[in-house]
Structure 1
Amino acid sequence: MKPPSSRMVARLRSMTRLIGFVVLVLNAGIAGAEPPAHVGSDACAECHLEVTKAWRGSDHANAWTLPDDRTVLGDFDDAVFEHGGLLTRFLRDGPRFLIETEGLDGQRRAYDVVGVAGIDPLQQYLLSPEPGRTQVYDIAWDVERRRWYPVFGDQVAPPGDGFHWTGPYKSWEARCAECHATGYKRNYSLPTNSYAPTMAEIGVGCEACHGPGSAHVAQARRGGTGETMPGLTAKGLTIDLGLSQQSEVMQCLTCHSRREAMQDGNPLPGTDYHDAFSISLLREGVYHPDGSILDEVFEGGSFLQSKMHAQGVRCSTCHEPHSAALRADGNAVCTQCHSPAGNSEFPSLTLKVYDGPEHHFHAGDGAGAQCVSCHMIERTYMGIDARRDHSFRVPRPDLAPTGSPNACTDCHDGQSAEWAIEELARRFPTSSHRGPHHATTFAAARLAPEGQAAALLDIAEGTETSGIVRATALELIGVVADRSAAERVVRLLSDADPLVRAAAAGTLRPLPADERLTRLRPLLSDPLRTVREAAARALLDVGTQSGSTPDAALSAALAEWQDALALRADFPETHLQIGGAALTMRNFGRALDAFRQAVAFDPQLVDAWTMIVRLQAALGDAEGSRRSLEEALAANPGAPALLALQRM
């Protein structure tokens, strides 16, 4: 008798045949009309043979597959791997692939592999510890070295910890699936803490980028003639990826960016990015002060900072979109534009030799002569996955004191930043890439923002600077401390960049409630949801009066934000947000419930425990506060913040 997890495999196989699945999220162009249905990538292959061939071998096509002898690359021949005292066995039972390990209850058992994630450079395996939940096991297969290894290095989380493989941070549905599937919706239920996902197909299929294809296929079968549905392109699709740089780049960013979702699952291709996601700004612990990659941020936030993005470069300028391979090998991908011949699409380029020792000062074709070595620093994530920063920076070793990385000493690890500064000054004596940089201000502001307000506002007002940098400057201010600063921020509420508008809203909280509402009223009806939600959050403490127009707009924007929180209710961090908002609104009971839910998901959230203990004490429940502190210390023995509460 097969265990319950095998039913998950059967259900996934059934889901891949749901080619009539209709995405529920409508984009603005076809609001009020039902979007086309998905038809599946096999239907696209009937006409688009060459691009389908390129796609089938790509990381996109193999982002999520079902387990069989073709897709599973790992050693399941009764292999054993030990890590941190935990023994894992990888074995077969006929056609079934099994992983024997400790479950949530600490008992060892063999779990069916119900899905496979990725093909290169690593492959992870999906397990279903209980019906309605799929988890990513964190011992992965290193494809090149053909070995098992721990994705998170020395991290060994015991059962019950949020970072255990059964915990919320390893949830496939919550953290991964929407970028590994097409037409995905996770359908999470908080009361049962389970999922009932639906999708058009597993893997990133044609319709994940081009939109559901039933109208396009119908038009093609009519010989390419006839009208399409209202709001669709001339080819019967929901998006024209060739229409503009932004239509392509922002569609890629739906997965290739670190962001917070405002919808469940995949937005309909063609939906404005800022109606579906709030991108992560250049925050401490995520990006270095200069904006280069630190934590796993994918490519989007980096690319938005680049001069290449500002000049109209697209993802497909360098990457063939169907195979996802680079368009040329080595430096040739760069010299298609950066050369004496240039590229007519980008007339502002300086025409000169870049791929030569007169520019890179390195002999031959070794690592030092590669464009990416200097202009795209590389960092490794998930243990073995080396990824390059896509902000395409000129090396700035003079910024090393801010904690920002130095491309020169990445390779010359025996040298100092001072050595690199001298070398660059000697080799490029007239370079304009020196002097003031936002990294210096950001690094200082992360330590003491109040002393950097004027400099941060200067950055925010710099229209030649990328929007994500300007928005980060506003976020670092926190809240403006004086009237003159507030007036400068108010001017940015009508900025052309939605990231700047949204960040500006958050800085005005010190203004009196009535004035704040007046200032932020236009943003409550902004065309883009990320801006509306930011304005709503800045007005949480503002009372509403039923019936008036501005109050109706505020209520609608708050409702949107609350809906987004509800859709992310499977994230422990969402309940921290809910708790903080409830405190702002002085709804202490709701705040207590939210912090309780956060620690139920992740008992190691010390900040949430601290709030629970303090709130219960403030509400007069001394005994409840004492019990909560005991519970918190049991889950987090020795935590300084909790020990401090014990001494109070």
Structure 2
Amino acid sequence: MMTVFAATWLFLATADGAAAQDAGGTPAYIGSAACADCHQEETRDWQGSHHQLAWTPPDAVHVLGDFDDAAFTLNGITTRFTTRDGRYFIESDGPEGALTTWPVAGVAGIAPLQQYLIETEPGKLQSFDVVWDVERERWYHLYPDQGLHAGDGLHWTGPYKNWNARCAECHATGFEKNYDPQAQAYASTQSEIGVGCEACHGPGEAHRDWALANGTYDPDRWAGLGDTALTMDFSAGAEAEIQQCAGCHSRREPFEDGNPLPGTAYHDAYRLSPLREGLYHPDGQILDEVYVYGSFLQSRMYSKGVACTDCHNPHSARHVAEGNGLCTQCHSKAGNDRFPSLPLANYDDPGHHFHPAGSDGAQCRNCHMIERDYMGIDGRRDHSFRVPRPDLTLETGAPNACNDCHAERSAQWATDTVAAWYPDSRHRGPHVAQVFAPARQDPANSVSGLIGIVEHEDLPAILRATALDLLAQVSDPAIAARTEPFLSDPDPMVRAAAVSSQRGAAQTDVAQRLVSLLDDPSRTVRMAAAREFLGLRIAHMPKDATEALNGAMTEWQRSIRNKADFPETQLVLGGIGLTTRNMPAALSAFGEAVALDPQLTRAWVMIARIHDALGNRAEARKTLDAAIAANPDDITLPLMRADLSD
């Protein structure tokens, strides 16, 4: 029996708890060089790949940029690139705006651009925003139109450009961030810079001993290893492989302090972003830099069991076939026995694509995998493999592949042309974009359509989770009741998203419905449930439920602590302080948020409101004066300041 009273104490009560460790040890990382003798072909493929060169030392072998006293000027700041005594240096504006010279501390990437890392404080690496265009052999700024100066959270010295927190885990092997929030310092480590063998297969100590059969392999010493003494088992099937790749190839919130152990289920290590505005177009096409996983989950290819390695060599990171040959491995008259539902037809033919053979318009990827440039010149392909729908452009504003090439023509022209080519197409029916587009502006007026998407169990789970994410903005008992069944959906992303839709229910109902999720098999679901319990007032819970809540809260707290250097995490902590009525904690967290990112106006506003609510109007005014100084173009802050005038 569970009754309403007060349970916010649980967040504080378990703040220092430690989760139980898995039984057994974890093998040590031994480095990619130890793999080469036995895995020679894979090593040859890997050497020189984007994976191997994801992070390299700043030496003459790896630095491609012009450091021969080259200069680049933007926004009145001249950056210089020089070489001295065999070392590379960058002179530019530092954290306080003064011109400073730093040695290059690391190199990120190989093509189409190369970025350089600077150690601005001991152990703290920042990714520099003036980067080298490898093809055109020129320096350029990643964000030339943003007018970024020192003190801006998005400046290269700011928290969003911190390599330790934002980038390193996907450019290294066995990475641990090791951020100390008290000292505000990093002591990051990794077994290897670059994406080595063990980044995907897991630490190799036990595997080496098993393979050499030298008598040192003891299976009882380790926990959770597969038949070949590795933590990741790629023979487990397409889903296991996809989730392993997705750890880096997705837009997500990490739970751990660095690399999760390879083989960790995706939803135990990350919370995947749904198709939110600003990240994706309303039809699910890529907009911001969202990488691959969120797109691929929308595709029929994913639903049919296609794996990453069906198209990509995982060691060289190259395609397994060239041009349209990549697609005609399956999409042809011959088909592919692994996918018996494929229609057998000649797709690489003008009768299908209606363009001259060999032209850009005849390339499968240009119609079914739109390309968008990120970091200025880095083209990325949408992996949802969608049929072009220019008719949806007319209705929702989402782009379409036809007008990507024919920019001088209208979406209506493209719609009419496609309709003439395919008069009986089954691909012009209802689409989630027709619900998501208006729901983004007014979810309350789209409830019926959103629930219809959630209840359509044949739709990809990421679409259904996105509908639940939008429904969470509408607090309503009827919605909570209607979506309750999806708390037990087979997909963890749907279950986690369904948690938020329960906010409209009575607190007793919320507790009763969510308690079983506190020991859900997936960590992302357990933590979603724990977040909702924080705001509930509960007088009594059974012992097993209390233990489950303590465990889920501890997991969530550890996840938050692992991201204490994120301004957005400090916003969460500030919200927790408000929920638990701990105003000093809320002020501290919101204060840390604006210290990290002075442009977080909502944090400034919360600080001012808390001071005003506590009767300290003078401090509220002082806060708003500082906020206006940091954000002189914001129009809301002066209005709030005027309301607090003497």
Task: Mark yes or no: TM-score above 0.5.
Answer: yes
Match of 1:629 among 601, 607, 624: 624
CA-to-aligned-CA distance 1:329-365 (integer Å, 9 cap, x gap): 1100000000000011111100000001000000021
Alignment-derived partner of residue 387 in structure 1: 380
1:599 correspondence with 2:594: yes
Match of 2:360 among 358, 367, 373: 367
Alignment-derived partner of residue 7 in structure 1: none
1:525 correspondence with 2:519: yes
Distance 1:328 1:557, change over 3 A: same
1:87 correspondence with 2:96: no
Alignment-derived partner of residue 398 in structure 1: 391
1:188 correspondence with 2:179: yes
Task: Give me the whole-angstrom Cα distance separating, in 2, the residues matched to 1:610 and 1:483.
Answer: 31
Give the CA deviation at 1:268.
0.3
Alignment-derived partner of residue 271 in structure 2: 278
Alignment-derived partner of residue 132 in structure 1: 123
Code of the residue aligned with 1:265 in structure 2: it is G
Match of 2:577 among 563, 573, 582: 582
Alignment-derived partner of residue 120 in structure 1: 111
Alignment-derived partner of residue 250 in structure 1: 243
Task: Give me the whole-angstrom Cα distance separating, in 2, the residues matched to 1:426 and 1:337.
Answer: 27
CA-to-aligned-CA distance 1:451-494 (integer Å, 9 cap, x gap): 11111011011111111110000010125544443222111000
Secondary structure at the aligned position of 2:502 is classed as: coil
Alignment-derived partner of residue 550 in structure 2: 555
Task: Give me the whole-angstrom Cα distance separating, in 2, the residues matched to 1:223 and 1:194.
Answer: 43
Task: Give me the whole-angstrom Cα distance separating, in 1, the residues matched to 2:420 and 2:314.
Answer: 40
> Greater shift after overlay, 458-467 or 584-593?
584-593
Conserved 8 A contact 1:479-1:510: no
Alignment of 1:120-269 (within 5 A): 120-222=111-213, 228=219, 229-269=222-262
Secondary structure at the aligned position of 1:638 is classed as: coil
Secondary structure at the aligned position of 2:327 is classed as: helix
1:319 correspondence with 2:312: yes
Alignment-derived partner of residue 565 in structure 1: 560
CA-to-aligned-CA distance 1:50-90 (integer Å, 9 cap, x gap): 11011011000000000111100000011111112110100
Task: Give me the whole-angstrom Cα distance separating, in 1, the residues matched to 2:625 and 2:198.
Answer: 52
1:69 correspondence with 2:60: yes
Code of the residue aligned with 1:311 in structure 2: it is K
Code of the residue aligned with 1:316 in structure 2: it is T
Give the CA deviation at 1:226.
7.1
Alignment-derived partner of residue 296 in structure 2: 303
Task: Give me the whole-angstrom Cα distance separating, in 1, the residues matched to 2:437 and 2:125.
Answer: 40
Secondary structure at the aligned position of 1:331 is classed as: helix
1:109 correspondence with 2:100: yes
Give the CA deviation at 1:234.
1.0
Give the CA deviation at 1:547.
7.0
Match of 1:505 among 499, 508, 512: 499
Match of 1:347 among 321, 340, 349: 340
Conserved 8 A contact 1:610-1:641: no
Code of the residue aligned with 1:579 in structure 2: it is G
Task: Give me the whole-angstrom Cα distance separating, in 2, the residues matched to 1:608 and 1:225.
Answer: 56
CA-to-aligned-CA distance 1:145-199 (integer Å, 9 cap, x gap): 0000001132232112111111111101011000000000010011222100111
Task: Give me the whole-angstrom Cα distance separating, in 2, the residues matched to 1:153 and 1:117.
Answer: 20
Alignment-derived partner of residue 418 in structure 2: 424
Secondary structure at the aligned position of 2:235 is classed as: coil
1:539 correspondence with 2:530: no
Task: Give me the whole-angstrom Cα distance separating, in 2, the residues matched to 1:482 and 1:188.
Answer: 41
Task: Give me the whole-angstrom Cα distance separating, in 1, the residues matched to 2:305 and 2:453.
Answer: 22
Identity score, percent: 53
> Greater shift after overlay, 405-414 or 102-111?
102-111
Task: Give me the whole-angstrom Cα distance separating, in 1, the residues matched to 2:258 and 2:481.
Answer: 39
Task: Give me the whole-angstrom Cα distance separating, in 2, the residues matched to 1:469 and 1:332.
Answer: 30
Task: Give me the whole-angstrom Cα distance separating, in 2, the residues matched to 1:447 and 1:96.
Answer: 53
Task: Give me the whole-angstrom Cα distance separating, in 2, the residues matched to 1:556 and 1:225.
Answer: 36
Secondary structure at the aligned position of 2:80 is classed as: strand
Give the CA deviation at 1:589.
2.7
Task: Give me the whole-angstrom Cα distance separating, in 1, the residues matched to 2:533 and 2:397.
Answer: 35
Conserved 8 A contact 1:480-1:486: no
Match of 2:466 among 469, 472, 486: 472
Task: Give me the whole-angstrom Cα distance separating, in 2, the residues matched to 1:447 and 1:220.
Answer: 58
Alignment of 1:456-495 (within 5 A): 456-479=450-473, 481-495=475-489
Give the CA deviation at 1:426.
0.8
Secondary structure at the aligned position of 1:186 is classed as: coil
Alignment-derived partner of residue 619 in structure 1: 614
> Greater shift after overlay, 30-39 or 240-249?
30-39
Code of the residue aligned with 2:631 in structure 1: it is N
Give the CA deviation at 1:619.
1.3
Secondary structure at the aligned position of 1:154 is classed as: coil
Code of the residue aligned with 1:278 in structure 2: it is R
Secondary structure at the aligned position of 1:488 is classed as: helix
Task: Give me the whole-angstrom Cα distance separating, in 1, the residues matched to 2:62 and 2:412.
Answer: 50
Secondary structure at the aligned position of 2:517 is classed as: helix
Aligned residues, how many?
A: 622
Task: Give me the whole-angstrom Cα distance separating, in 1, the residues matched to 2:346 and 2:577.
Answer: 59
Task: Give me the whole-angstrom Cα distance separating, in 2, the residues matched to 1:72 and 1:303.
Answer: 34
Alignment-derived partner of residue 52 in structure 1: 43
Q: How big is the alpha-carbon RMSD for the aligned residues of Structure 1 and Structure 2? A: 1.7
Secondary structure at the aligned position of 1:489 is classed as: helix
Task: Give me the whole-angstrom Cα distance separating, in 2, the residues matched to 1:614 and 1:605.
Answer: 15
**Structure 2 unpaired stretches of 5+:** 1-17
Conserved 8 A contact 2:25-2:223: no
Task: Give me the whole-angstrom Cα distance separating, in 2, the residues matched to 1:472 and 1:208.
Answer: 30
Alignment-derived partner of residue 634 in structure 2: 639
Code of the residue aligned with 2:62 in structure 1: it is T
Conserved 8 A contact 1:257-1:300: yes
Secondary structure at the aligned position of 1:433 is classed as: helix
Conserved 8 A contact 1:156-1:164: no
Give the CA deviation at 1:512.
1.8
Conserved 8 A contact 2:496-2:525: yes
Conserved 8 A contact 2:403-2:411: yes
Conserved 8 A contact 1:486-1:508: yes
Give the CA deviation at 1:559.
2.0
**Structure 1 unpaired stretches of 5+:** 1-25
> Greater shift after overlay, 127-136 or 490-499?
127-136
Give the CA deviation at 1:436.
1.1
CA-to-aligned-CA distance 1:19-44 (integer Å, 9 cap, x gap): xxxxxxx999x921111111100000
Code of the residue aligned with 2:160 in structure 1: it is Y
- TM-score for both structures, normalised by structure 2: 0.94
Distance 1:224 1:270, change over 3 A: farther
Distance 1:347 1:449, change over 3 A: same
Conserved 8 A contact 1:506-1:537: no
Conserved 8 A contact 2:209-2:217: no
